[in-house]
A and B are shown apart, each in its own frame.
Chain A
Amino acid sequence: MNEQCSGPIIELRGVRKRFDRQEVLDGVDLSIGTCESLVIIGRSGCGKSVLLKHITGLIQPDEGEILFHGEDITKFGRKSLFDMRMHFGMLFQGAALFDSMTVGENVALPLVKHSGLSEEEIRQKALDKLALVGLTDVHDMYPAELSGGMKKRVGLARAVVMDPQVVLYDEPTTGLDPIMADVINGLIRDLQKGLNITSVVVTHDIKSAYKVGDRLAMLHEGKIIFSGTPEETARTGDATVRQFIEGRAEGPIKAV
């Protein structure tokens, strides 16, 4: 760990959000350390993705503060929000590639819009990032021609093309075969270690959580009910967390 990797980069304080009548986030407090890899686990539909979208200002909370480098982003206007997002990358659940553009154009788009680099430099950078995720020869293909795993890797290349400080992953391994899931997990780890990126991963895949996380936090009924290292998580006595990590239908969490 070097010096820039100290202190929290993102902090959530008492974040609440309700949709219609459902309380999705019910006072979330969470601190994410610089250069840390934090995995948020929880059941499908418990609000993990909603939490992730709060961190980037895609969704505004009803109550509470979200701090990035100590500044409350819930008070940001569109311009500041866009400036902040330059430091963020996000890998979406379905990769969310723009299907009217080629793979190369997808990866290059943030650079084309914001970097001011020449066409040749942009092309080279896009190719570099694609190589980083192990893809060559796909530059001129369209997203529809790619497999699920390749789409995720292209999404990852696009997420890191601006060399962000933070990368957010929404269910990075869902829908992939176990081998490809491991490839993606390895990439998340490599990026975080190699480029000093803070990663926040949302998943219900407990195996991936152990593999990529420095720390695991469990979101349950709108609150963070547990947080600890993978070892602490494996040893915890908390019945709710145990039920989740062991994947049992019986326990404090009502399965149906």
Chain B
Amino acid sequence: MSATLLSALTLGGVGLVFGTLIAMAHRRFYVWEDPRIDTVTDLLPSANCGACGFPGCRAFAENLVAGDTQPAVCTVMGENEVSTVSDFLGVEAGATSKRVARLLCAGGTNVAVQQADYLGIETCGAAAAVAGGGKGCTWGCLGFADCEVSCDFDAIYMDEHSLPHVVPDQCTACGDCVEACPKDLFVLMDLEEKLIVQCRSLLTGEEATDLCEVACNACGRCALDASAGVVEMMNGLAVVNYELNDSAGPEAIKRCPTGAIVWVEGPQFTVQPAAERILV
């Protein structure tokens, strides 16, 4: 027998044996998967942002097909895309209220005091590790745009005072900025939650306003003016109780001396807080 034939037969034989084994294993360990999962995955935006609460679009599709969640939970899809998915699966689209990321700081470079220059790596994380980057208010926004970098949807841009603005239409509430911010200034909020305290400083009175013109100085006027229980003073900060969001109204912000508490329709920071309000 020629060497060529021998090697061909040996290789062929080995191939046949293992091929048979693979074929048997394929039969033996076969797992049926709903073919609709693949189709639904293709219909989803493939952003893998995690805003739905599942680890990626594929996992969301699996739960959709299983009926554990509803198409509208995906905040990245528009209305048309949601109805395509719900029509395909023959389920209700569901309804979720629109949520967006809100920044709990209004202390841009125009209103907040900078006590020292910071010359190190230009990211918020690095600045936070070195004496808070020299900003007077140690709770406030550092302005090096870690959040802008983290956003996959171009929903965050930095303004001329180094303060990030969130575009509500583009924000999918995926939470990447919440994770990126070393000062924990971002929170995901319902668009209907319009009464927002844009300050995290625990200082009170002039100590707070000396460092930032728009800080909450804990005067307590908003707590008095709002409906009972909506705003509470805690640890030197006004805190809104969003369980009573229905009874919240713009009257709470009327007498705020610094403009720390605001009534937000749409995007934040559209109205510049009046620095010099008449104290009543």
Whether chain B is bound by chain A comes out as no
